[in-house]
Amino acid sequence: MELISILLQLTVFVLFFSIGFPINKAQVNNLNNRSKFLEQLIFNIFIQLNLLLVLSFFNISIKLIFSIYLSYLLISLVYLIKINSIKSFFIFKNKLLYYFAYSLCLVIFIDIAYSLTLEWDSQKFWIYKTLNFYNDGTIQSLNNLPPGDGANYPYLGSLLWSLFWKFSFIPDEYSGRLLYGFLYIISLLAITEKLNTSIVYKMIFLVVFVSLSYQYRYFGGDQDILIFILIAFLSVVTHDIYKASTKKVSNLQIILLILICNSLIWTKPEGTVYAFIMISIISLFFKIEFIKKFYLFSSVSLLFILQILLYKYYGLNVGINPCCWTDFSVNSIISKISIERILVISQYFFYSLFKSPFFILGLICLISSIFVKNLIKNFFYIYFFIIINFSFIFTAYILSDLNLVFMLKNGIDRLFYGSSPIYLLIFVEYYNSQKFKN
CA neighbor of 416 nearest in space, from 350, 351, 353, 363: 353
CA neighbor of 182 nearest in space, from 236, 229, 216: 229
Query: Contact 281/422 with Cβ under 8 angstroms?
Result: no
**Only segment of 193-201, 298-306, 345-353, 401-409 that touches another protein (CB under 8 A):** 193-201
CB atoms within 10 A of CB 363: 15
Q: Is 246 in the site for another protein (CB under 8 A)?
A: no
* Smallest distance, another protein to C-beta of residue 119, A: 10
Q: Is 140 in the site for another protein (CB under 8 A)?
A: no
Q: Is 402 in the site for another protein (CB under 8 A)?
A: no
- Using CA of residue 120, residue 126, residue 127, residue 129, what is the dihedral sign? positive
Q: Is 117 in the site for another protein (CB under 8 A)?
A: yes
Exposure string of 115-138, with b = 16+ CB inside 10 Å and e = fewer, is eeebbebbeebbbbbbbbbbeebb
Among 81, 107, 302, 323, binds another protein (CB under 8 A): 107
Q: How far apart are CA 126 and CA 146, in angstroms?
A: 12
Contacts of 3 (CB under 8 A, 6+ apart): none
Among 26, 211, 331, 334, binds another protein (CB under 8 A): 211
- Judged by CB, which is closer to another protein: 124, or 336? 124
Identify the three-state secondary structure at position 329. coil
Q: Provide φ and ψ at 101, rounded to 5°.
A: -60, -40
Q: Is 118 in the site for another protein (CB under 8 A)?
A: yes
Among 214, 381, 423, 427, binds another protein (CB under 8 A): 214
Among 135, 301, 403, 434, binds another protein (CB under 8 A): 135
Q: What angle do CA 383, 264, 152 make, to 5 degrees?
A: 125
- Crossing angle (nearest 10°) for helices 421-433 and 380-398: 160
- Judged by CB, which is closer to another protein: 122, or 389? 122
* Smallest distance, another protein to C-beta of residue 254, A: 36
- Residues of span 146-165 touching another protein by CB under 8 A: 146
Query: Contact 108/46 with Cβ under 8 angstroms?
Result: no
Q: Is 210 in the site for another protein (CB under 8 A)?
A: yes
Q: Is 96 in the site for another protein (CB under 8 A)?
A: no
Q: Is 144 in the site for another protein (CB under 8 A)?
A: yes
Q: How far apart are CA 178 and CA 161, in angstroms?
A: 8
Identify the three-state secondary structure at position 36. helix
**Only segment of 57-65, 78-86, 122-130, 310-318 that touches another protein (CB under 8 A):** 122-130
Among 86, 111, 318, 321, binds another protein (CB under 8 A): 111
Count of positions (residues) in the chain? 438
**Only segment of 141-149, 186-194, 383-391, 392-400 that touches another protein (CB under 8 A):** 141-149
Q: Is 113 in the site for another protein (CB under 8 A)?
A: yes
**Only segment of 29-37, 205-213, 227-235, 415-423 that touches another protein (CB under 8 A):** 205-213
What residues line the site for another protein (CB under 8 A)? 2-3, 6, 107, 110-111, 113-118, 120, 123-124, 127-128, 131-132, 134-135, 137, 141, 144-146, 172-173, 198, 200-201, 203-204, 207-208, 210-211, 214, 437
